[in-house]
Amino acid sequence: MKTSRISGFYNKTLNERMEIVKSFSDLTDEEISLLKSQMDMEIANRMIENVVYLNDVPVGIATNFLINGKEYLIPMAIEEPSVVAAASNAARIARAGGGFRAIATEPLMIGQVQIVNLSDPYSAKFRVLENKGELIKIANEQDPVLVSLGGGCKDVQARVLDSSLGPMVIVHLIVDVRDAMGANAVNTMAEAVAPKLEEITGGKVYLRILSNLATYRIARAWARFPRNVIGENAVNGIIYAYEFARIDPYRATTHNKGIMNGIDAVLVATANDWRAVEAGAHAYAAMNGYTSLTRWEMDKEGNLIGTIELPMAVGTVGGASSTHPKAKIARKILGVKNYMEFAGVLASVGLAQNFAAIRALSEEGIQKGHMSLHARNIAVMAGATGDLIDRIAEEMVRENRVRLDRARELLKKYRSD
């Protein structure tokens, strides 16, 4: 049976790893050669403006993920060492507790329309609500395909905000965007209803744009990390780390950054708008005073239970995730069928990343792991190649002298041996 539980993946050669991914995800030979090649400059040139060259970010595969009983290999594009290894390691421990469970709400996005110059904002708000049916109709005329798939504008809400420039009515279109990230659909609808809103309220519309605080589009994941696998000290350390993040925004920011290390890496690999998810995550964490996006607690048997909850405005259709050739293959590797599944995977990766970070921080610290990876980079910078990279890195870590000058000395020594 297909499993993502692969021991020693990191010890395999680049080609061996590719072969494992190929057979796990049924990749074709063409897809493999596409992954190994550079993006066509013509595609890049159509993607953004003023293109000059391509940037390179390594994509690693996090192994061991079991989510809702399904096996996943997770492609992660990131320049930071340790993140992929940490996610794989956390996922290995979570599977000992049955793997991750994950759920997501319906994909409801919010489109905002700002109305100003209102003398009677409260009655304007009520008139907007009175005309909800007409507004929904106008919005849905913009996207018959989305509506035919069961999506579209489902509700209209309105708020009166007091501002230093006078009252504003802020209208929210609640739009089910199905498997898309939804920015285009929502923005088009927000622009389309604006003239009608001016007519209804007698005010003037300025902004028409989605909100990245997608509070109706929430992904949740949880997992049990058995005490007999990680030990009581780790359980206690993680709960203390969580409590620190819960009560201190300075710590919570770093704690959440660790979560986003994992989520963003998957979003970059799949060409999703990671800035949108970042913005939403941190705003969600700040809704009642900035705090942790995860919670850590102990069950009756003393096992560690982690939960995570955050907005997840991502898509499996549309946008760059459908046009970027490697991103499409990354999604195939991931094997997610729709938005709901994707959102659950992302939340699970975030939880795994957080577990790994706060476990390391509360026990040996993160520098030990970082240092050995850092040492390899230093060895490469000194000019080491092949086997010498690991040999020099290991020696520098052993001596606790991870420095460029030492790497150069060792390189000279080994080359003259």
Residue 366 contacts ligand MEV per CB under 6 A: yes
Residue 254 contacts ligand MEV per CB under 6 A: yes
The DSSP annotation for 23-80 comes to HHHT--HHHHHHHHSPPPHHHHHHHSSS--------EEEEEEEEETTEEEEEEEE-SS
Residue 350 contacts ligand MEV per CB under 6 A: no
The CA angle 53-56-261, to the nearest 5 degrees, is 130
Residue 305 contacts ligand MEV per CB under 6 A: no
- 282 part of the active site: no
Token representation of residue 334: 């991931």
Token representation of residue 111: 């489109």
Judged by beta carbon, residue 185 or residue 241, the one nearer ligand MEV is 241
Closest approach of ligand MEV to the CB of residue 365, in Å: 10
Kindly name the residue from 273, 309, 341, 395 that is annotated as catalytic: 273
From 17, 22, 101, 257, residue interacting with ligand MEV (rule: CB under 6 A): 257
- 273 part of the active site: yes
Kindly name the residue from 16, 80, 120, 232 that is annotated as catalytic: 80
Closest approach of ligand MEV to the CB of residue 404, in Å: 22
Helix, strand, or coil here: 5?
coil
What is the rounded radius of gyration, in angstroms, for the C-alpha atoms of the chain? 25
Residue 265 contacts ligand MEV per CB under 6 A: no
Kindly name the residue from 132, 154, 257, 374 that is annotated as catalytic: 257
Residue 374 contacts ligand MEV per CB under 6 A: no
- 80 part of the active site: yes
Helix, strand, or coil here: 157?
strand
Residue 172 contacts ligand MEV per CB under 6 A: no
Adjacent-strand bridge partners of 158: 171
Closest approach of ligand MEV to the CB of residue 398, in Å: 24
State how far the Cα of 256 lies from the Cα of 285, in Å rounded to an integer. 9
| CB burial of residue 14 (10 Å; 0-12, 13-18, 19+) | exposed
| CB burial of residue 133 (10 Å; 0-12, 13-18, 19+) | exposed
State how far the Cα of 78 lies from the Cα of 86, in Å rounded to an integer. 13
The interface region with ligand MEV, picked from 37-45, 178-186, 257-265, 332-340 by CB under 6 A, is: 257-265
The interface region with ligand MEV, picked from 15-23, 182-190, 310-318, 355-363 by CB under 6 A, is: 355-363
Q: How many residues does the chain have?
A: 417
Kindly name the residue from 370, 374, 390, 409 that is annotated as catalytic: 370
From 27, 304, 357, 379, residue interacting with ligand MEV (rule: CB under 6 A): 357
Judged by beta carbon, residue 296 or residue 339, the one nearer ligand MEV is 296
Adjacent-strand bridge partners of 309: 220
Residue 3 contacts ligand MEV per CB under 6 A: no
Residues that are catalytic = 80, 257, 273, 370
Interface residue list for ligand MEV (CB under 6 A) = 80, 254-255, 257-258, 261, 357-358, 361, 366
